[in-house]
Structure 1
Amino acid sequence: MLTSSLTRLNPYLYSTTYLYTPVIMVNFSAPKNIQYWGAACGTLSSVLFFFSLVAAHQLPPIKPWFTPEQTTEYWRKHESGAKAGVAIMLLSAVFYLPFTATLAIQTSRIPRIHAVVPALQLACGASGVFTYVIPALVLAVIPYRLERNPEITQMLTDAFYFQLIMPWPTFIVQNWVFAYAILRDPGPRTIFPRGMAWFNILAPIFYLPGNAMHTAKTGPLAWNGVLGFWFIGLVFCGQLIADSICLCFAIRSEGEEDLLLNLIPKKIEQDSARSPSNGNGV
């Protein structure tokens, strides 16, 4: 009965033809603490990611134009910090998944939103975790055997920054899908403020210079440059915190929808009691 009720409320989202339905069929009237925790995970992920770079002495980053010997000496000097940064960066990845799952659940509340939208949110979140994990693993290898050939250490340093900054497509898709969902909300009182849609459309544009980072060792496009590192890092962390805060407000606004979800099944039960069965079990 509840499935039938939700299907009538939002046939695109709650239809049993979608494999994603079991994830979306949640009890919004349940305690919200776990959702608030999921929203806070976005901020935790951002803050931990920032401190992982601080611990590894990568704020400001190592210079791309260093010789292999200079690069090796730099890591030898900051060996302990690099190892600590690995642990913190891996921990920051842990918190990104709960944030994405909570965002997908709240996005699914938007009326007439297609199931592919929250599904894309989850897919992007699952793949986005590797943007944290893979650079952390490369960073773990760098100080592990500093007695190696310095050119290998320099190559690993290059790989660390390329994998840290260049995997922007996942986050652009996630942000633009979120913006699309907000703009599709037809209500006068939207679940998310429409301003967040434009913020999520415009902010990822700052990720695009990272696409050219492999073409420069100096200047604004290098991995220590204004466009190649600083704008990307500040926008990414700032946007994650902003989305996390808006997500908390969306969770707090669930009360009216809870009432609707409780009333619709009762109304359908009353209608079914007054009319003969149509033979479909509804």
Structure 2
Amino acid sequence: MHQDRYMKLQRFSAWCGFILLVGFMAAYTTGGLITPMDPTLSSDEVVEWLKDNQTGILACVAIMVLTVPFEYPFVVVTSLQLKRIEGGWGLLSMTQVLTGVVAPIGFFFPLAILSAAAYRPERHSADVLSAMVDIYWLMLVGNACIFVLQVWCIGYGALIDRRAKPIFPRWFGWLNIVLGVALIPGAFVYLNKTGPFAWNGLLAYLIPTIVYTIWKIATPAMLLRAIKHEEAELAEAKEKPEATAQLAAS
């Protein structure tokens, strides 16, 4: 592929991170899902919440169906930049891309179940609808900890990069480590209906959501920075033939 076209594709893929953030915010705001419902609500109260938010939930899922595909180029370009740190496809870049491919499922499968509950609520009993809503919140918040390894791969890659001009700054490496730690409490939503480890709690939901939002802004910005540096390296390699060998070995 022509170099200019390849770099444009990388930049587009990095911008996909911003598209994802805007899409997620629009979808979850439309669906009334930014603030989780109380896990202690009765079945009748859950049904009332579901009916009150029916149109918004279905619109949220439609927006997410259009938004989620942008996750894939975003994940791939992240691994391409990790590949530069490793000097080729390695453990960090491969683990990141494999775990990143699963990431959209963590959003869409729970929403698919919630949309099924909201689509025809009159056909199901309060207990069935309540169980479906429980599955949505438990999967969305509880399964987030699965992606700890993904962000730790990015963070570790940033921290071990010893080149004169690191691909990612060290603070970005630590941001990924912090996000990974922040996602871990989500595993405990299955054991708690109240408190900081419930699906609407401080440790399981609020702090991870804040850190994830910061990460979703910082990561595309750092990718665009890394792509710009890669372009400069390639331009220098063209001007100085001896630099080509150094670039290939890095």
TM-score, normalised relative to structure 1 = 0.79
Moved more, 218-227 or 256-265: 256-265
Q: For the residues of structure 1 that align with 2:244 and 2:121, how far apart are their CA atoms?
A: 70
1:207 corresponds to 2:183: yes
In the alignment, the residues of structure 2 paired with residue 266 and residue 125 of structure 1 have an alpha-carbon distance, to the nearest angstrom, of: 33
1:234 paired with 2:216, answer: no
State the 1:111 CA deviation: 5.4
Match among 80, 87, 92 for residue 55 of structure 2:
80
Secondary structure at 1:143's aligned position in 2?
Answer: helix
1:243 and 2:213 matched: no
Q: Which residue of 2 aligns with 1:67?
A: 42
- Whether 1:89 and 2:94 are equivalent positions in the alignment is no
Question: Helix, strand or coil: the match of 1:217?
Answer: coil
Residues 71-90 of structure 1: per-residue CA shift (max 9 Å, x gap): 11111111101101111223
CA offsets 1:65-104 (integer angstroms, 9 cap, x no match): 1111111111111110110111122333211111011111
- Structure with greater helix share of residues: 2
User: Paired residue for 2:195, among 195, 206, 219?
Assistant: 219
Matched, 1:178 2:175: no
> Per-residue CA shift, 1:31-58, capped at 9, x if unaligned?
5222111111112212222222211112
Q: How far does residue 255 in structure 1 lie from its aligned partner after superposition?
A: 2.9
Specify the alignment match of 2:14 in structure 1: 39
- Do the aligned residues in 2 keep the contact of 1:64 with 1:224 (CA within 8 Å)? yes
Q: Deviations over 1:242-269 (max 9, x none)?
A: 111111111111134214654559988x
User: Which whole-Å CA distance do the structure 2 matches of 1:77 and 1:158 have between them?
Assistant: 17
Q: For residues 76 and 52 of structure 1, what CA distance do their matches in structure 2 show? A: 17
Greater shift, 171-180 or 28-37, is seen at: 28-37
**Deviation at 1:167?**
1.6
Any idea what SS the aligned residue of 2:40 has?
coil
Distance 2:166 2:81 in 1: 12
Query: Aligned partners of 2:67 and 2:186: how far apart in 1?
Result: 21
**Number of residue pairs aligned between Structure 1 and Structure 2:** 243
Q: Distance in 2 between matches of 1:92 and 1:166?
A: 22
Over 3 Å counting, the alpha-carbon distance change for 1:213 and 1:170 in structure 2 is: closer
Secondary structure, counterpart of 1:167 in structure 2: helix
State how far apart, in whole Å, the 1-side matches of 2:145 and 2:244 are.
45
Separation in structure 1 between the aligned mates of residue 77 and residue 121 of structure 2, nearest angstrom: 42
Q: Tell me, yes or no, if the aligned pair for 1:28 and 1:254 is still in contact at 8 Å.
A: no
- Identity across matched positions, percent: 26
User: What secondary structure is seen at the aligned counterpart in 2 of 1:108?
Assistant: helix
Contact 2:51/2:118, CA 8 A, preserved across alignment? yes
Where in structure 1 are there 5+ consecutive unaligned residues?
Answer: 1-25, 269-282
Instruction: Supply the RMSD in Å over aligned alpha carbons.
Output: 2.2
Return 5+ residue gaps in structure 2 as ranges.
246-250
The aligned residue for residue 248 of structure 2 is none
Question: What SS class does the counterpart of residue 59 from structure 1 fall into?
Answer: coil
Report the Cα offset of residue 178 of structure 1.
1.0
Do residues 122 (structure 1) and 89 (structure 2) align?
no
2:141 and 2:205 in contact (8 A); partners too: yes
**Does structure 1 conserve the Cα–Cα contact (< 8 Å) formed by 2:72 and 2:100?**
yes
Alpha carbons of structure 1 residues 106 and 266: separation in structure 2 relative to 1, 3 Å:
closer
Specify whether residues 235 and 251 from structure 1 end up closer, same or farther in structure 2 by C-alpha distance, changes over 3 A only: same
**1:253 corresponds to 2:222:** no
Give the CA deviation at 1:29.
5.1
- After the TM superposition, which residues 156-167 of structure 1 pair with which residues of structure 2 at under 5 Å, given as runs? 156-167=132-143
Instruction: Please name the residue that 1:131 is paired with.
Output: 106
